[in-house]
A and B are shown apart, each in its own frame.
Chain A
Amino acid sequence: MGEPGTKEILSLAELEAAGNFRSGRKHIVSILVENKPGVLTRVTGLFARRGFNINTLAVGPTDDDSVSRITITLDGAVHSIDQVTKQLHKLINVLKIRDLEPEETLARELALFKVSADGAGRAEVMQICEIFRAHVVDVTKRAVVAEVTGTQEKVDAFERLIRPFGLIEMARTGEIAIGRGRNET
């Protein structure tokens, strides 16, 4: 790779090969923050600056009014996530950060699927919903809305199965997560 300040011309292929492209495992990062304006921007800004692409993001209250939980899932990057978590610790309004171990973590998201279901396909859609323990929360002549809860992978699987029937639209919350066992996340 060429150094800045030298006249060497860089090939695009070389640049891309050395670039900061995603790979590696999925991460679920749980961040407890003070419930103050602008905190979410500080947190997400840090991920962006360090070249991480946020896959999902969920923010909500905790058992303590003054504290919110931000749950972020990442596809991972070439860089170690350590540098981001260390930088996150430096934000004054961040109280606690956990890069959750997948085996030790319960993660769930909620999704709503609007599927066209007129005629023949309808029964089959209902059947798939049943297998996935999805609730049908709205039914019209030409469509149903199903509510699914589960891990990202389960929701992905449901989407794959339902899509051929005519997926009109979909909304997902992104995962929230909590550690298994007695200890606080």
Chain B
Amino acid sequence: MNVEWYVVLSSLLFAIGAMGILIRRSPIVILLCLELMLNAGNLALVAFSRMVGNQQGQVFAIVVMVVAACEVVVGLGLIVAIFRRRLPLNVDELRELRG
């Protein structure tokens, strides 16, 4: 398959993830949609690395995976802290930081 198929697929996955972030209101599902977007970026990185014939893009993809793991850990820690304080798990009701 040509590389452009992979790139178009990755942009489609990115758009689905962005749409999910706009639609959903549960913080867990928003984190999952963030994962979708990061993975779409990973797919584009690996596809371009194959297009150039160079392994450096794959190293970038692995670093993106590390950053995604950190984001998951901190995000889930925040969700658990929100749950412990009996706050609603709904991003529309957690609006104290809005000015």
Q: Do A and B come from one complex?
A: no
Residue numbers of A with Cβ under 8 A of B are none
